[in-house]
């Protein structure tokens, strides 16, 4: 009678155990808690692992230990380059570990986010990274009770589920608005792509910044349905001018839009910064090289990803993760596009 084995042929922990003359559990311990295994046994196990080319099966590990090596990352969009920069930071650090990053796309939907959180939690992830602070009540409850580290990224908020790293979007936009006012602009518009929680908060910062001088005018605020892009910026600028031909500056929620505005100004022969001021948001590399160079709010996107993952790895290694809540701030980078000569 043939046995009914279903194995893949890959070496298992039992193969290693036999080769090392120990039991399976000793191999397991040699791998996970080497200090609890005698030096001698450990050496033999390691040799056997190398000889056989053994790699643990993550599915079996997850099933037996009720804990997977997956770090879930929830982002609202895989299309938006802002989140991509953050993802880079996440990957950079994750690659130094054995954890696997798994991206999931909430598509700006709280319901979808909730579904994905459940899905991840069901797998007992090693940790979870979620974007922002606008989760549904149920999602919040799930995350608060989650048996793993949770990091909220990209924003700051009053009641973190666990850890948090980001910056204040409204403060950043406020600073940009003040800068435009200080530079002498008066009829300042706001261009945004698809509206989400963060762009809404930025708008409120922008508004606050202008209202201090009674300069806010809702007619100069434009949001679009589409995602952010250079062409959208050009189109929105055109729309802004049709709404207020006297508009003299704009805060763009995104650097793409700012580039589009600049190109459209060039096309129309509108002089930047003298006749029109442009301020972007995020400070992508192109801003510094554009002609004229474009003022922008530098945001620590990549660093957010790096620090989120670093905190997680520290926690998972039972080390001190440092501050659990980190406001990484922002920097207004003043450039030629708002450097108006005094009149």
Partner DNA sequence: GTGAAAGCGCTAACAG
Partner DNA sequence: CTGTTAGCGCTTTCAC
* Coil/strand/helix, residue 11: coil
Residue 3 in contact with DNA, rule: CB under 7 A? yes
**Contacts (CB under 7 A) with DNA, residues 6-25:** 6-8, 10, 12-14, 22-25
Give the footprint of its own copies on this chain (CB under 8 A). Answer: 6, 8, 10, 55, 57-60, 62-63, 66, 68, 78-79, 81, 84, 87-88, 91, 95, 100-103, 105, 118-119, 122-124, 229-231, 233-234, 256, 259-260, 263-264, 266-267, 285-286, 288-291
Residue 92 in contact with DNA, rule: CB under 7 A? no
In angstroms, give the least distance from the CB of 120 to its own copies.
10
The residues near 280 (Cβ < 8 Å, ≥ 6 apart) are: 252, 254, 255, 257, 258, 259, 287, 294, 295, 296, 297
Residue 218 in contact with DNA, rule: CB under 7 A? no
Cis link prior to 273 (omega < 30° from 0)? Answer: yes
Tokens of 84: 């991509």
* Coil/strand/helix, residue 294: coil
Which partner, its own copies, DNA, none, binds residue 124 by CB below 5 to 8 Å per kind? its own copies
Residue 41 in contact with DNA, rule: CB under 7 A? yes
In angstroms, give the least distance from the CB of 38 to its own copies.
27
Which partner, DNA, its own copies, none, binds residue 2 by CB below 5 to 8 Å per kind? DNA
User: Which residue, 9 or 245, is less far from DNA as judged by CB?
Assistant: 9
> Of 230, 341, 231, which is closest to residue 287 (Cα–Cα)?
230
In angstroms, give the least distance from the CB of 55 to DNA.
7
- Residues 103-123: b if buried by 16+ CB within 10 A, e if exposed: ebbbebeeeebbebbeebbee
Q: CB burial class (10 A; 0-12, 13-18, 19+) of residue 219?
A: exposed
**d(C-alpha 163, C-alpha 198), whole Å:** 19
Residue 47 in contact with DNA, rule: CB under 7 A? no
43, 50, 51, 60: residue in contact with DNA (rule CB under 7 A): 60
In angstroms, give the least distance from the CB of 332 to DNA.
49
Cis link prior to 292 (omega < 30° from 0)? Answer: yes
Tokens of 109: 């939907």
64, 212, 288, 317: residue in contact with DNA (rule CB under 7 A): 64
Which partner, DNA, its own copies, none, binds residue 341 by CB below 5 to 8 Å per kind? none
Cβ atoms within 10 Å, residue 74: 23
User: Which residue, 99 or 281, is less far from DNA as judged by CB?
Assistant: 99
* Coil/strand/helix, residue 93: helix
């Amino acid at each position: 009678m043939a046995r009914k084995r279903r194995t893949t042929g890959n070496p298992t922990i039992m193969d290693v155990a036999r080769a090392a003359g120990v039991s399976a559990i000793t191999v397991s311990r040699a791998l996970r808690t080497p200090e609890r295994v005698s030096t001698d046994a450990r050496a033999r196990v390691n040799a056997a692992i190398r000889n056989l080319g053994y790699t643990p099966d993550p599915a079996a590990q997850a099933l037996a230990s009720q804990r997977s090596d997956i770090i879930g990352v929830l982002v609202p969009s895989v299309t938006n380059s802002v989140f991509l920069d953050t993802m880079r930071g996440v990957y950079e650090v994750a690659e130094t570990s054995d954890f696997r990053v798994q991206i999931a796309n909430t598509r700006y939907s709280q319901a979808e986010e909730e579904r994905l959180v459940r899905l991840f939690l069901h797998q007992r992830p090693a940790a979870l990274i979620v974007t922002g602070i606008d989760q549904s009540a149920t999602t919040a409850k799930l995350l608060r009770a989650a048996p793993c580290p949770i990091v909220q990224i990209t924003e700051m908020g009053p009641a973190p589920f666990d850890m948090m790293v980001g910056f204040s979007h409204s403060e950043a936009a406020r600073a940009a608005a003040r800068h435009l006012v200080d530079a002498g602009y008066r009829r300042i518009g706001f261009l945004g792509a698809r509206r989400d929680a963060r762009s809404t908060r930025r708008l409120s910062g922008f508004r606050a910044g202008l209202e201090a001088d009674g300069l806010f005018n809702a007619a100069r605020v434009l949001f679009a349905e589409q995602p952010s892009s250079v062409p959208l910026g050009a189109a929105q600028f055109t729309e802004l001018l049709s709404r207020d031909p006297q508009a003299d500056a704009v805060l763009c929620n995104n650097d793409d839009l700012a580039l589009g505005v600049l190109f459209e100004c060039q096309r129309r022969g509108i002089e930047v910064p003298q006749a029109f001021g442009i301020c972007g948001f995020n400070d992508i590399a192109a801003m510094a090289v554009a002609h004229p160079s474009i003022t922008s709010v530098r945001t620590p996107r990549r660093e957010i990803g790096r620090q989120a993952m670093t905190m997680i790895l520290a926690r998972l290694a039972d080390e001190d993760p440092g501050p659990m809540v980190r406001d990484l701030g922002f920097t207004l980078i003043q450039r030629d596009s708002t450097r108006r000569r005094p009149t």
